[in-house]
């Protein structure tokens, strides 16, 4: 695997090393030793999938407060999404900065999202699916969020019209 540090402290874009031939390919998408070598979480408590029927669905920006803060390892297994994260750690040098990348069935890339980061994504293709590993169990009392289009963060989403949000995601507060 190729671990590329993002501009946000502790966050990585990870590309599996594909071994391809005429039959297809094989790739490792997790190895406890490789993650440990990079000082990354290698203990997962939950695995989730999210299926999205339509282009334009936007989910996020979600995170959990301590003591239930979570690390996420996100991969798009079908279709494509623009996946984004915001550093919500007040003591971080990259506090309130964001990073995003296209994750797709074609590129097989993953995002490693540290504790204290808000996370969300926008579906770029109908019938897209994500798989993600999470280091902490879902704890409703620790749940928090930031509005997907908060102007103080100014994420450069690929789609700004035809966006479909859940009622809950429409209600997240602005940071300012």
What pLDDT shows up at residue 176?
85
Residue 119 pLDDT level (bands cut at 50, 70, 90): very high
Would you call 62 a catalytic residue per the annotation? Answer: yes
Give me the residues paired with residue 120 across strands: 84
Would you call 38 a catalytic residue per the annotation? Answer: no
Per residue in 124-140, pLDDT (tens digit) is 999 999 999 999 999 99
pLDDT reading at 160 higher than 90: no
pLDDT reading at 84 higher than 90: yes
State how far the Cα of 101 lies from the Cα of 158, in Å rounded to an integer: 10
pLDDT reading at 168 higher than 90: yes
- Is the distance from CB of 65 to CB of 144 less than 8 angstroms? yes
Per-residue CA distances from 119 to 17, 19, 83, 86, 143 (Å) = 25, 30, 8, 7, 12
Per residue in 8-42, pLDDT (tens digit) is 999 999 999 989 899 988 988 999 999 999 999 99
Choice among 12, 63, 132, 138 that is catalytic? 132
Taking residue 45's Cβ as centre, other Cβ atoms within 10 Å add up to: 12
- Best mean pLDDT range from 20-34, 48-62, 162-176: 48-62
Choice among 12, 62, 63, 121 that is catalytic? 62
Q: Which CATH number among 3.40.800.20, 2.60.120.10, 3.40.190.10, 3.40.50.10070 corresponds to the domain 44-170? A: 2.60.120.10
Torsions phi, psi of 174, nearest 5?
-80, 155
């Amino acid at each position: 695997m190729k671990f590329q540090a993002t501009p946000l402290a502790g966050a990585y874009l990870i590309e599996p090393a594909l071994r391809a031939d005429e039959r297809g390919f094989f790739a490792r998408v997790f190895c406890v030793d490789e993650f440990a070598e990079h000082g990354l979480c290698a203990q997962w408590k939950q695995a989730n999938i999210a299926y999205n029927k339509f282009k334009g669905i936007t989910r996020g920006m979600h995170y959990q407060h301590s003591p239930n803060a979570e690390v996420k390892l996100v991969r798009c297994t079908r279709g494509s999404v623009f996946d984004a994260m915001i550093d919500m750690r007040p003591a971080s040098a990259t506090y309130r900065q964001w990073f995003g990348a296209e994750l797709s069935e074609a590129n097989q890339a993953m995002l490693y999202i540290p504790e204290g980061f808000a996370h969300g994504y926008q579906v770029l293709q109908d019938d897209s699916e994500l798989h993600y590993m999470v280091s902490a169990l879902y704890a409703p009392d620790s749940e928090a969020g930031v509005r997907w289009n908060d102007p103080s963060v100014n994420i450069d989403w690929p789609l700004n019209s035809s966006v479909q949000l859940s009622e809950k995601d429409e209600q997240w507060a602005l940071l300012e």
